Amino acid sequence: MAGLSERLKKLTEALRPLHLALTKETQVAYERQHGPVQGPGELLQLLIRHPDFAWLHPLSELMAVADELLDPRREVPVAPEEAAVVRNQVERLLLQDETFSPRYRDVLQQSPTAVMAHSAVRDALKGLAEAVR
């Protein structure tokens, strides 16, 4: 059985394609209204500052927290409680958050890529749940 850090790493690896799929779908919707995004620099600025992309911030923040826990320079191993908090927050965000969840469900209805990424995240969450028991 994979260790706690490996399971948390699998979750972070699954979250990245999900975040990318959500970003792409949000970009497509933005471009319908405002015209094409002019390169990755403008997209980054939109991700950081534009209200249409603000719904993605909680997911970005959770990914950063998980990355900090996995930082090889960190002097202590990931505690089961820390991993459980990340797992619970990701699940809550995807399934119950009043701002994030409705938009998330809409994207899942439109994007097969997001559905596949969602499936990988669910599998990783299940594996992490088994590791923190």
pLDDT at 2 over 70: no
Q: What is the pLDDT of residue 1?
A: 42
Model confidence over 43-102: pLDDT tens digits? 999 999 999 999 999 999 999 999 999 999 999 999 999 999 999 999 999 999 999 999
Question: Distance (Å, rounded) from C-alpha 128 to C-alpha 14?
Answer: 12
Q: Where are the domains of the chain?
A: 4-131
- Exposed e or buried b for every residue in 13-26, given b needs 16+ CB within 10 A? ebbebbbebbbebb
pLDDT level of residue 16 (50, 70, 90 thresholds) = very high
Is-contact 26 67, C-beta < 8 A?
no
Model confidence over 17-51: pLDDT tens digits? 999 999 999 999 999 999 999 999 999 999 999 99
Question: Distance (Å, rounded) from C-alpha 51 to C-alpha 128?
Answer: 32
Query: How many CB atoms within 10 Å of residue 100?
Result: 19
Query: How many CB atoms within 10 Å of residue 121?
Result: 22
Q: What is the pLDDT of residue 132?
A: 81
Average pLDDT over residues 90-117: 96
H/E run at residue 22: helix 4-34
Name the token pair of 16.
Answer: 């990245």
Question: Distance (Å, rounded) from C-alpha 91 to C-alpha 100?
Answer: 11
The DSSP letter of residue 86 is H
- This prediction's pTM: 0.92
Query: How many CB atoms within 10 Å of residue 71?
Result: 8
